[in-house]
């Protein structure tokens, strides 16, 4: 979907938004599971808590829902939401890396690398869903 078609897209109802967010959560958690399992197989410590399902499922869900709140605020208050989102999303993803680097002592390069990849994966799933169910005008 192009930026131009997003601008003329109709607003979605609350059920469509909820369904889109749920789909993003499910897809992101599935991708996170694959990434976590590959990282563990590649040598990440078995006791590295961020690669345990309860941890990443919870944080993925919170991240996508918090992002949806931010996205909806940007939609309402920005005169040029596309310009704001173009720098805001990558900036927030980069900021989300900071806590991961602080876990290097516990997870090593493999564990932290997996977390970085998980953050990017969640962001991609979230932005695709937001664009679909909460189009910017």
The domain limits of the chain are 12-133
φ/ψ region of 80 (left if φ > 0, alpha if ψ in -120 to 50, else beta) reads: beta
Question: Mean pLDDT, the chain, as a whole number?
Answer: 93
Task: For residue 57, count CB atoms less than 10 angstroms from its CB and return exposed for 0-12, middle for 13-18, buried for 19 or more.
Answer: middle
Q: State both tokens at 111.
A: 């564990």
The dihedral built from the CA positions of residue 58, 52, 49 and 118, taken in this order, carries a sign that is: negative
What does the pLDDT average to over 116-129?
98
pLDDT band at 5, cuts 50/70/90?
very low
Residue in 46, 36, 50 with CA at minimum distance from that of residue 101: 50
pLDDT band at 61, cuts 50/70/90?
very high
pTM across the whole model:
0.88
What does the pLDDT average to over 63-77?
96
Instruction: Give the pLDDT confidence score for residue 10 in this predicted structure.
Output: 62
Percentage of the chain beyond pLDDT 70 is 93
Distance CA 97, CA 103 (A): 10
For residues 68 and 20, is the Cβ–Cβ distance under 8 A?
Answer: no
Instruction: Give the pLDDT confidence score for residue 16 in this predicted structure.
Output: 94
pLDDT of 45 above 60: yes
């Amino acid at each position: 979907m192009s930026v131009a078609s997003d601008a003329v897209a109709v607003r979605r109802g609350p059920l469509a938004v909820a369904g889109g967010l749920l789909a993003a959560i499910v897809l992101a958690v599935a991708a996170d599971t694959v990434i976590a399992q590959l990282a563990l197989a590649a040598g990440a410590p078995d006791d590295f808590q961020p690669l345990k399902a309860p941890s990443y499922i919870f944080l993925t869900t919170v991240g996508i829902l918090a992002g949806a709140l931010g996205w909806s605020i940007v939609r309402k208050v920005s005169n040029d939401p596309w310009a704001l989102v173009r720098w805001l999303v990558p900036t927030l993803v980069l900021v989300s890396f900071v806590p991961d680097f602080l876990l290097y002592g516990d997870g090593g390069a493999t564990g932290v690398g997996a977390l970085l990849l998980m953050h990017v994966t969640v962001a991609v799933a979230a932005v695709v869903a937001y664009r679909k169910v909460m189009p910017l005008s």
